[in-house]
Amino acid sequence: MSLRSSALAVLVLQLAVVAVNATSAVEILSQVPSCASKCISSTFISFACDPEDVTTCICPSIAIQSELSICVQIKCLFDDQLTAATVEGALCEAYPKVSRRTEVRRTLIISCSLVLVIVTIRLFTSKQYSGGLWRDDYMSMLAAALLIALAAVYLHITSIGFGMHYWTIPVGNGVVIRKMLYVGNLVYTVL
């Protein structure tokens, strides 16, 4: 096989891949709810996106995804928002997702560890030098237990999407995250 024919074969293969990607992008976008279609068209116009290359325009751009997300949240019912998020997830599956979950986990673990060390030192010195534990020591233990519960809630929700952009959270986890945040707020209020 000559160099020319192998280059032609590579070109045909690349064109076939582009055609498959375009078809799948069109098929995926056809599943968008009507309320989100208006958002997509207005965002495409404002960001001068090429309708032929949907994924390259939307997926790497956080600004575009943010504007789409805001528009969909305003114009669509919650079920339609979930459908739009599913479509976006399928469309941008190959692209990396920005996440700050590691920073959230690190902050939780470090701060809880410091608090637990300080409470342990406090209890040890109180028992050693005061002859026992007093009410304030028991309140410190209660506060430490509530802090552990709060950290457990937040560590759990980071594993299901907290720390990611709204539009990249796995579909269906948004409701669970909101409920767990509510529980976390209640624990924090008691704390």
Whole-angstrom CA distances from 122 to 68, 109, 116, 151, 162 are 51, 20, 10, 21, 33
Looking at residue 26, its pLDDT comes to 64
Q: Which of 10-19, 26-35, 156-165 has the highest mean pLDDT?
A: 156-165
For the entire predicted model, the pTM comes to: 0.67
Q: Give the annotated binding-site residues.
A: 53
pLDDT in tens, 83-140: 888 888 888 888 888 889 999 999 999 999 999 999 999 999 999 998 889 999 999 9
Q: Is the separation of the CB atoms in 155 and 105 below 8 Å?
A: yes
Dist CA 191 CA 180 (whole Å): 16
Q: Give the annotated binding-site residues for heme.
A: 53
